Amino acid sequence: MMDATKYHVGYYPPPVEPGHVYEWPRKDHIEKAPIWCSVDLRDGNQSLIVPMSLDEKLEFYEMLVRIGFKEIEVGFPAASETEYEFLRKLIDENRIPEDVTVQVLTQCRDHIIRKTFEAVKGAPRAIIHFYNSTSVAQREQVFKKSKEEIKQIAVDGAKLVKKLSQEYEGNFLFEYSPESFTGTEPEYAVEVCNAVLDVMQPTPDRPMIINLPVTVEMSMPHVYANQIEWCSKHLKYRDSVILSSHPHNDRGCGVADAELAVLAGAQRIECCLFGNGERTGNVDAVTLAMNMYSHGVDPHLDFSNMPAICETYERVTRMHVYERTPYAGSLVFAAFSGSHQDAIAKGMTWRKEKNLHEWTCPYIPIDPHDIGRTYDADVIRINSQSGKGGIGFLLQQNYGYNPPPRMREDLGYRVKEVSDHQHKELSVQEVLYVFESSYLNHDAPLRVKAAHYIQNPDSTITANVTVTINNGEPIDCSATGNGRLDAVATALEQATGMHFTLVHYSEHALDTDTDSRACCYVGLKWASGKETWGCGTHTDIIVAGVRALVSAINNK
C-alpha cells in the first residue's frame, strides 16, 4: 500500500505583495523564441550509461551547430579529462563558429574555477557558468551552513571568476545559477543573485545570465511561473540581466515549466534534444521549439531533417527516441484508426483543392513534410484498425489509384482481414498487392479475347465479342447497348447466362506522361444482392473499361 503521508509540499511560493497581480496568466501565447542553450554535451552526456567519446561529442556538437544553437554548454572541464580535451580541441582547432558561444560549467569552488579557466583560455567567446546550491534541503542536510554562509560561497565564487577572467586570454561572459532554485525561498534566491550581480557589475552591452533552474520539479508549472515573474521584478541590474530557465522533468511537466517561464519573463532556455538528462531528463528542446513552430513562431532552430537528427542522437548516445515522443517519435503522426485516417485523407484533399498555405489538417498538428517525414510512411499506417479512407488515400498518393467509395470499403475489409490474419501492420506496397490481386485485370475464369464495335444509326453501339470460360473453346456473341461497355456487358450476360446490373463506372488517367494508362473501375450488383468490383488498366480506355468489367465478373 502506498503511503502519501510521508510527502508534503516542498516548494516555496513567492511572498504575497498587497495589490500585486501576476501578468503572465493574461498572456495566451509565446510571441518570439527565447535564446536557446543546448546542455546536451554536459547534462545530457552525464546522464548516459556510457558517456560519449571525444569523437562522438564532436559529431553531436557539429549537429547542434547545424540545427542552429548559438549557445552550447560543452562540458564541466574540471570534472572530466574527456571534457577538458574536448573543449581544448574546439578552441585549438578553431571549431567554434563566430556566431556560437560555448559554455562551461563550474561549481563555486576555488580549484574547480581555476581549472575551468585553464581549460577555456583563448576561447573566442565563452560563458563561464558558475553555481552553488541554495535550497533549504541542501543548506540543512548537505552543507550544514547558514543562509549567510551559502551566500558567501556564491559571492566568493563570483569574485574569483571575475578576477581570473581579467587574467586569462579569452572573451568571457558570465552565468550564475542558484542550484535547487525550486527548493529555495524566492526572496533568498534573489538576495543571493543580487549579491553576485553586485560583484559582476553587468551592463546592457555586457549582460550577465541569471539562471533559475528547476533542478528538481517540486511544484505545478504555474507556481514556477510565479517564481520567475517575482524574481524578474526583484533582480537588480534588470536591463543588464538575461533571465534564464533550466527545467528538469521530474513531474513530467518540463515543457510546461519552460513555456510558462517564458510567458513570465524568462528570456533564455537551457535544454536537451529529446529531453535527455539526469533522472527523468531535462526539458525537451525539440518539443519546445516545435510547439512554437506549430503556433507560427519561428524557433530559429532547424529540425527540417528530423529523421537524421534522431539517427545521430540514437547512435552516439545509445539512447532511444520513444515512438510517441512529440514531433520526433516514429509514430507521432501515425493514424491507424479508420475514422482518423478518413478525416486526415479528406483534410489533405481539401488543402490541395483549396491550394491552402495554412496548415489545418485534422489530427496532424504540423505538416510532416516540414520535418522530413512522409505521408505514406509516417501518417496513414495500415493495420486491422484501419479504414477505407486511409487505404484509399495511400493508393492515390503513392500509385495514382482512386477507387470509388464503395470499392474502397470492400478493399478496406480485404486489407484488414490480411492484417488481422498476419497480426501485423501492412506496408503501402502490401496494400497495393492486396488491391491489385483482388481487382486488377482479372482474366479468369472469364476472358474476353476480342471485342469489335459498330456505331449504329440510332447512336447505339453493337459489340461483337469473343470470350472463353476456363480456357475452353472461344464463344462468339454480340449485343447492342447505349455504349461500348453496356453492349459488352449485355453480350457477356447472354453468352454466360449470368445476370448482373452495372451500378458503377468511373475512369481516370493513372500516369502523367504522354503514354498514360487509363484506369477504370466497375461495380456490379448481382441478383443475390452481392456487389463485386473490378479495376482495369490499359493505354486504350475502352480496353481498360472491358478489363474492369471482366474483373468484376470474375470476382463473383
Q: What is the mean pLDDT of residues 270-291?
A: 96
Helix (H) / strand (E) element for 127: namely strand 126-133
Amino acid at position 397, single letter: Q
Q: What is the model's pLDDT at position 385?
A: 67
C-alpha 527 chain-centroid distance: 52
Q: Strand (E) positions, 180-267?
A: 208-214, 241-247
Structure confidence by residue, pLDDT tens digits, 77-86: 998 888 999 9
* pLDDT level of residue 299 (50, 70, 90 thresholds): very high
d(CA 184, CA 360): 44
Share of the chain above pLDDT 70, in %: 97
For residue 334, pLDDT beyond 60? yes
Amino acid at position 473, single letter: E
The backbone region for 426, taken as left when phi is positive above 0, alpha when psi lies in -120 to 50, beta otherwise, is beta
Q: What is the model's pLDDT at position 514?
A: 67
CB-CB contact of 44 with 317 (8 Å):
yes
CB-CB contact of 104 with 76 (8 Å):
yes
Q: What is the model's pLDDT at position 342?
A: 79
* pLDDT level of residue 323 (50, 70, 90 thresholds): very high
Share of the chain above pLDDT 90, in %: 82
Q: What is the model's pLDDT at position 53?
A: 93
Q: At 170, phi and psi to the nearest 5?
A: 145, 165
CB-CB contact of 386 with 336 (8 Å):
yes
d(CA 4, CA 7): 6
* pLDDT level of residue 384 (50, 70, 90 thresholds): low
Q: What is the model's pLDDT at position 511?
A: 82
* pLDDT level of residue 274 (50, 70, 90 thresholds): very high
* pLDDT level of residue 92 (50, 70, 90 thresholds): very high
Q: What is the mean pLDDT of residues 57-68?
A: 98
Q: What is the mean pLDDT of residues 17-27?
A: 93
Residues sharing a CB contact under 8 Å with residue 313, sequence separation 6 or more, in sequence order = 60, 63, 273, 274, 319, 321
For residue 380, pLDDT beyond 70? no
**Domains of the chain: residue spans and CATH:** 24-317 (3.20.20.70), 338-439 (no CATH), 446-554 (3.30.160.270)
Cell of 50: 556510457
For residue 513, pLDDT beyond 80? no
* pLDDT level of residue 331 (50, 70, 90 thresholds): confident
d(CA 244, CA 73): 14
Query: β-strand 531-538 against 518-526: which pairing, if any?
Result: antiparallel
Structure confidence by residue, pLDDT tens digits, 414-445: 988 888 888 888 888 999 999 999 999 999 99
Q: Name the β-bridge partners of 507.
A: 520
Q: What is the model's pLDDT at position 516?
A: 84
* pLDDT level of residue 391 (50, 70, 90 thresholds): confident
Longest CA–CA separation in the chain, Å: 110
CB-CB contact of 119 with 104 (8 Å):
yes
Q: Name the β-bridge partners of 71.
A: 37, 101
Amino acid at position 409, single letter: E
Q: What is the model's pLDDT at position 434?
A: 94
**Of 287, 227, 278, 277, residue with least CA distance to 256:** 287
* pLDDT level of residue 377 (50, 70, 90 thresholds): low
Average predicted confidence (pLDDT) for the chain: 93
Q: What is the model's pLDDT at position 392?
A: 81
CB-CB contact of 383 with 425 (8 Å):
yes
d(CA 31, CA 29): 6
